[in-house]
Chains A and B, each alone.
Chain A
Amino acid sequence: GAGVSQSPSNKVTEKGKDVELRCDPISGHTALYWYRQRLGQGLEFLIYFQGNSAPDKSGLPSDRFSAERTGESVSTLTIQRTQQEDSAVYLCASREGPNNEQFFGPGTRLTVL
């Protein structure tokens, strides 16, 4: 079946602009995660959605970052007033059951000029 999809694959923006990144999880997967990966670095957890429960936002680095998810479907990560330090690959992952096996999308490479 279809895997996790993300759009756009690449985004170049100017400092101070807002950006929206989209994630379509695997159908039926109740959990959805956003991560950030800077060049040459590990995965940095941002936010976690589980069904209709309140999301775990503990990884969001500042109030410029926010995310939404409608039910168990699409999620959008929004970064307001982008800064050059926001340049990274933003990865989305989804999970079906309680075993914590996550499946990643291809990522969105964000470049802030």
Chain B
Amino acid sequence: QKEVEQNSGPLSVPEGAIASLNCTYSDRGSQSFFWYRQYSGKSPELIMSIYSNGDKEDGRFTAQLNKASQYVSLLIRDSQPSDSATYLCAVSGGSYIPTFGRGTSLIVHP
């Protein structure tokens, strides 16, 4: 069974700090990796996708992928209170049905 593991948190960081969110996955054949942000009471919103080893940067967000160690992470620089949300990691392989982690709750306090 394919599994995606995330620490449920909450992860609490002060405003302006770097928030680091981690995700591990069990299927070595996984090829596509995604981070979604979900505000309370709202639906998930895609914020980052990454397909090859290394870093991918988009504004304040950096996704990091290490296929050998089977982990993917999301760094949020200069964290803002508006970044407070649950972050879902999703992983897919040959199937078009991704496996979602249960999410990490992030709290950015002023």
Contact = CB atoms under 8 A, between A and B. Distances in A.
Interface stretch (A14-22, A66-74, A75-83, A96-104): A96-104
B96 A48 contact: yes
Nearest to A109: B41
Nearest to B51: A99
In this complex, the interface size class of chain B, counting residues with CB under 8 Å from chain A, is 20 to 34
Contacts of B43: 89, 91, 104-107
A77 B103 CA distance: 25
Contacts of B46: 101-103
Interface string B89-108: 01010001110111100000
B45 A43 contact: no
A31 B96 contact: yes
A45 B90 CA distance: 12
Interface residues of A, number: 24
Nearest to A48: B97
B42 interface: yes
B100 to A, nearest CB: 4
Interface centre among A41, A91, A99, A100 (most CB of B within 10 A): A100
B32 A100 contact: yes
A102 B44 CA distance: 9
B32 A43 contact: no
Interface of A: 31, 33, 41-43, 45, 48, 50, 56, 58-59, 89, 91, 95, 98-107
